[in-house]
Amino acid sequence: MKIMIADDHGIVRQGLRSLIQTRLNHEVIGEAEDGVAAVKMAGELRPDIVIMDVTMPNLNGIEATRLIRKDCPQVKVIALSMHPEKHIVKEALEAGASAYVLKSYLFDDLSKAIEAVAAGRRYLSPKITDVVLDDYISSPDQQQAKAKLTARDRQIIQMLSEGKSIKQIAMVLHISPKTADAARRKIMHKLGVTSVADLVKFAVREGITSLEF
């Protein structure tokens, strides 16, 4: 079993690599420190499973999962997160994750998730099973607003929420600052917000970024 790890904390990646190789006897073929690197690496290495941290800079794990599953549908993703909130779990599963594991659990829980996903099954940490079974409730306006967003829109929202300037966003996306600013204005119009602060609050509420207020 070829496994790739995506997490922005080096010590977490190192610990997971050691446990996966020594206790599960699986091969860790790559490590990525953010979502952008994870998407690129998954396309190049084609792992069987990606263990994906949900909260990462530049491109979060949910959006990275969505892109990986689109480009490499044979690659399975296990979302690894400290967040048990319903909307974040739902977003990860809708993006294509086959499992959702909480970081608060021990490695045995991740081991069970790897075994399940490798066998073509799904897995959820016990604490969040009830969260997913509950009906997801959101207003029609929220659903419509979210449906209007593209993957690029979500990435721009995340970078704005993390304090990146239009110039920095343009550099990351390889577009001109003028195009990046136009994209920002278009996103705000889609969501019906009038300030970046409101945009950030939307991002936090929808799990696009982990920033707190």
pLDDT, one tens digit per residue, over 87-125 is 888 889 889 999 999 998 999 999 999 999 999 998 998
Cite the beta strand spans of 27-162 per DSSP E.
Answer: 27-32, 49-53, 76-81, 99-102, 123-124
Domain boundaries, the chain: 2-133, 140-205
Radius of gyration of the chain (CA): 17
Alpha-carbon gap, residue 50 to 140, rounded angstroms: 33
Alpha-carbon gap, residue 197 to 204, rounded angstroms: 11
- The rounded percent of the chain whose pLDDT value lies above 70 is 90
pLDDT tier, 2 (very low <50, low <70, confident <90, very high otherwise): very high
**How many C-beta atoms lie closer than 10 Å to residue 134's C-beta?**
10
Q: Does domain 2-133 have CATH number 1.25.40.10?
A: no
Give residues with Cβ within 8 angstroms of 10, minimum separation 6.
33
Which of these ranges, 9-13, 32-36, 45-49, 197-201, has the smallest mean pLDDT?
197-201
If residue 67 lies in a helix (H) or strand (E), which one and from where to where?
Answer: helix 61-71
Best CATH choice for the domain 140-205 from the list 3.30.70.250, 3.40.50.300, 1.10.10.10, 2.60.40.2470: 1.10.10.10
Contact 124, 86 (CB under 8 A): no
Q: What is the pLDDT of residue 213?
A: 38
Higher pLDDT among residues 201 and 26, named by residue: 26
Best-predicted range by mean pLDDT (4-8, 117-121, 125-129, 187-191): 4-8
Global pTM reads 0.68
User: pLDDT by residue (tens digit) across 37-49?
Assistant: 999 999 999 999 9
